[in-house]
Each structure stands twice: as structure tokens, then as C-alpha cells.
A = this chain, B = another copy of it.
Amino acid sequence: MQPLFRRLSYYAKLADHDGESLSKLSVRDHSYAPGEDIIRRGEKTGQVFVIKHGWAVRYITLEDGRTQVLNFMLPGDIFDLQVFLDDTVDHSVAAVTKVTTTVVNADSILSLFAQGSSIAAALWWSTVQEEGILREQIVRNGRRTARERVAHLILELHRRARIVGAAGPDSLELPVSQILIADALGLSFVHVNRVLRSLEKEGLIKKNKGVLTILARSQLIEACGYSEEHLHLDGPPRRLSFMAVAE
């Protein structure tokens, strides 16, 4: 459960005993092979998944095979707190690399909420973040050029990976095919390739065996007007305001 604790504590300054509560939550772990679906559209899981290792994507496929990646999921990411509504999900989640998830049963999360743990606030925060990322995805794909989209996505992924300790200050293990990047950015993979090569030729980035290095961060930021507002990095309150009400 380390990655979750790490991620949540980035925001919420959790105490040690919170770490204990978290580890008690774990119901069981599960592993998935690259390309395997973790959740399939139309299912009702009744469970909450936390990514422990590896990368995953949320995606939707149209009838004719066109597919759109909604967002990338890194260690520490959670899906889905909407489980409390007993709803069927409208999208799928697939493992990109080998993925290990911790499966938490919904009730254990709920008891955290009931107890007023600061973990609950952190969890809720994580859903706010995710929505922010989704909205940014809409803007990026709707109103930015291919070059901007690629640069922006690189910066976002690096930042997110960095938070969970999966990236160096300017480098990032990016186990993601150009096809997947294309499906995330609404581009053809051929064009993604050209943009990447051109960013590389200009010395903004470098890619070597799955490790991407940001060589000129400021130029990369300038190339896309990157800002981090949408990641909501300021962190959640210690407790959800409805907990105060409950007292």
C-alpha cells in the first residue's frame, strides 16, 4: 500500500497511525498483464482499486475500433469512489505495464469516512484532482495544437510520476507506446511520432529505452503554456467539512 500512502501524504500530511489504517484496509492484491483489462465497461465492481505498481489507462472504444484514452493512471491512483452508488461504469481500465492493484472493498473505505479519518479527505481530494485532469484533457485536446498537446502531456505525466516517486527531477520512465499517446491526445500515432522526433531534434527532450528526459524544461513549458493549477496540488483540508457537521 506504499504508493497510496505516499501519494495521499503528499497532500495531507498523514500521521503514522494513518499508515496503519491504510495497510489494514488492503483486502487483497491482484496482478494484471500488460494490455489486460482491470475493469470493463458495463461492469459493477463493488470494489475500489488502488494502483500499487505500473501504469494503467482509462479508455473508451467506439464500435468501429477508434479508441480514446481518457487519462493515464499511475501508482497511487484510485478508481472509483463512485462505487457507492452501485453504478455500472461507462468506461474501461486496462493495464499498460504489468500492474499490481490493491483491491479494497467499498465498506472499508466507508468506515474511514464514518470515522472522520483524514484519509477520507485525502481520498476525496484525489477524485477532485482526477476531475481536474479530465477537464484539462478536454482543453488540451480541444484547443491545443499537436505540438502543444504532446509537450503538455509530458509535463503533466512527469509531474504526477514525480509526486509518487516514480520519476527523477527531469527524467521519467514512460512505458507508454506512441499509439497510446496518440489515443490520449486525439492524434494519429504517425503524427505523434513526428512531433516527438521534432521535440527531440530541437533538444527539448530525449528518449532512451523507455526513459524520457526533459532537457529544456522552460522551453517545453513555453511550447505549451503549461500550468499546474488543474492538478490541485495545494492539498486537501485535514477533514471533510461534512465530518464537522456529523459531530
Contacts and interface: CB of A to CB of B under 8 A. Distances in A.
Nearest to A131: B131
Interface stretch (A30-38, A210-218, A235-243): A235-243
A138 B68 contact: yes
Interface string A54-65: 000000101110
Given A62-B225, A90-B229, A242 B139 contact: no
A142 B85 CA distance: 28
Q: Give chain A's interface secondary structure class.
A: helix
A82 B143 contact: no
B240 A84 contact: yes
Interface residues of A, number: 53
A23 interface: no
Copies of the protein in its oligomer: 2
A87 B229 CA distance: 11
B143 A142 contact: no
Contacts of A82: 128, 131
Nearest to A66: B143
A137 B131 CA distance: 13
B245 A68 contact: no
Contacts of A114: 242, 245-246
Interface in A41-89: 60, 62-64, 66-68, 70, 82, 84-88
Given A63-B225, A66-B143, A241 B86 contact: yes
B128 A131 contact: no
Interface of A: 60, 62-64, 66-68, 70, 82, 84-88, 90-91, 106-107, 110-111, 113-114, 121, 124-125, 128, 131-132, 134-139, 141-144, 183, 185-186, 225, 229-230, 232, 234, 236-237, 240-242, 245-246
30 contacts: A60-B135, A60-B139, A62-B143, A67-B143, A68-B139, A68-B142, A68-B143, A70-B135, A70-B139, A82-B128, A82-B131, A84-B240, A85-B124, A85-B125, A85-B128, A85-B237, A86-B237, A87-B128, A87-B236, A88-B234, A90-B135, A90-B230, A91-B135, A110-B241, A111-B245, A114-B245, A114-B246, A141-B141, A142-B186, A143-B183
